[in-house]
Structure 1
Amino acid sequence: AAGGTGGHMFPAQAFAAELKRRGQNPVLITDVRGLNFDDGFADVPVHAVRAGTLSARRPLKSSKAVFDILAGIITSYRIARSLKPVLAVGFGGYPSVPAMIAAGWAGVPRLIHEQNAVLGMANRLLVPRVDGVALSFDPTTGLKPNHKKKSLLTGNPVRADVMEVSDKPYPPISDQTPINILVLGGSQGAKIMSEVVPAGIAQLLISIRSRISVVQQCRMENLVSARQVYDRAGVTAELVPFIEDVSAHLATAHLVISRAGASTVAEITAAGRPALLVPYPGHGDRQQAANGSGLVKAGAAWMVEDMQFTPDWVAAQLEKLIGSPRALATAADKSRALGLPGAASALADLAERMAKAGGAVGASWRAAA
């Protein structure tokens, strides 16, 4: 069960693919937004149920959300009674809540996976009620001491093609090689990346920017303006609304500039690439800042807040890093050391173990894991 955004759906896709590889038969429950990702669930039955987001600031919307959640629980319960699953695995987001509650009603063991370094609201609601908690970060804020007894660090599942990048070395840098920069903006792009990064690169000396090759994710409405800036600066740039083959670009990237969403951080560290991170400021729990802080402490990334993310900052950072290839290579090593490219396999191991044990957890469960 997964919410309808990329941060929840991409790990669920990787997990489902690993289960399929093992001969298991996963089924996905999501909401209507999640149907936009169903092409990533090859040969996996997908059910869309009603769900809602609770908000204290918008009581009328929350009233409707309660009815939507109840309807989703009833539909999910019928699905659970029909399919008789051996385990329910929730990947967070409010659309996962009806399915996970219904699984409990149907007597199905439950495991939740938290992608971020801060426990999300849906998982906070579910964590007292489930049998196991799989974590992507250690520590994870919001997890109470009594819940840590049933938690295990598995990492955040990444796609198989990204896992393959973990075996590829960091691309060497010399005075003659291009500097490949990959700019990501989350599952839907980020306007600030399109405005700041091209302008920052344009400020660099021509001897530096002539060596730079950019692949950047841009929203459609920002493509033309960003391309114009790069063209005027004489910078080679490929700009697309959505990067289909992230793994291929990660393999050749010397530096990633990105938000600090959970899936992005997991892919960056699995590939072992250094990064400039700009955490999204719109989350009240500051989850992206928490996601990126571990990379910064380890020396794998540099992080800046939105207000300080300016063309001047980008230009200064790039000038310093491109002038010090050893610093980039060292950061790449630190990033790789943090990566957990086998997260999908670790999570599948845990799921199969819990299914066999009927959801029972404890000291022996953690020791076996």
Structure 2
Amino acid sequence: MLIDLRSDTVTRPTKAMQEAMWSAPVGDDVMGDDPTVNALQEKSAALFGMEAALFCASGTMTNQLAIRVHTQPGSDVICDKNSHIYLYEGGGIMLNSFSSVKLLDGDRGRINAEQVADAISPEGDIHATISRMVSLENTMNKGGGCYYDFEEIKAIRAVCDQNDLVLHLDGARLFNALVETGETPQQFGKVFDSISICLSKGLGCPVGSLLLGTKEMITKAKRFRKVMGGGWRQAGFLAAAGIYALDHQVDRLKEDHVGARAIAEIFRQKPEVEDIYPVDTNIVIIRVASHISAPEYVRTLAESGIQAVTFGKNLVRFVTHHDFSDDHLTEMRKRLLR
């Protein structure tokens, strides 16, 4: 039995999701007449109380489209130094939008209103970039799946309003946060100018992310999507998976969080593990002893049929998902604690 915990992106569509996909009516999304894509976009926009949405191939694309629409060459994006938009999107902020970054040192990746206020470039300073956008990540990947206190988000929104800044959310795993906090999508839709949510992680879709915002913003983003080569045709087969996931696979994310905490308990019994990040959602990050390299530890795990990824010096990450069952957990415990 292979135990694949490299990411929640390794999930495969359930039988019910597959049935929804293959029975979906489709059209040509570039021409705007794929009824299932349109239904997904309308459904997700309504869910968050936002005006419009755009279905795209990946979270990197939706994040980068938001940055491209919200910024201009020579401006900057204020974000944490470990943000996905900075570390894991191929330098897209600079390549696609000709913008710079102001990198903050947050609490496990969560920045605060005071930090944002301090990072804003002085108005009229020709030596500085023009501060234009703040981006938050919730949950925070490099922070071990931690999530924001919503009161802090509102405080950051206030700073943005006072300084004419746009507030974007990289919500790749936002639903993981929502099932823990009890907050609603509508609360987030009221606070953010744009939101990116991923369907192909814990929600279990094969492909796809959504960008949400105003009608004007989404119209611009659709144009830039086309420029990036992101126009697709009968995408309704994929959009149907997104509709199914939003209807049926959100609440079950709590099960992934239970599994992640159980994995952490296993590694607390391993003498080579020196530290474990707090487990808030579905991500477990362990720190192995300094004399053991992360790649070496990942290779050792792979020899036992357990797949994980390196995540920094002496750091290894595991991510639970709907294809990780109680049987996998039992087997994992046997292999690691024998």
- Short-chain TM bin: 0.3 to 0.5
Task: Report the TM-score when normalising by structure 1.
Answer: 0.30
Give the structure with the larger strand fraction: 2
Larger Rg: 1
Q: Which has the higher contact order (CA 8 A, sep 6+)?
A: 2
Give the TM-score normalised by structure 2: 0.32
Q: Which has the higher helix share?
A: 1
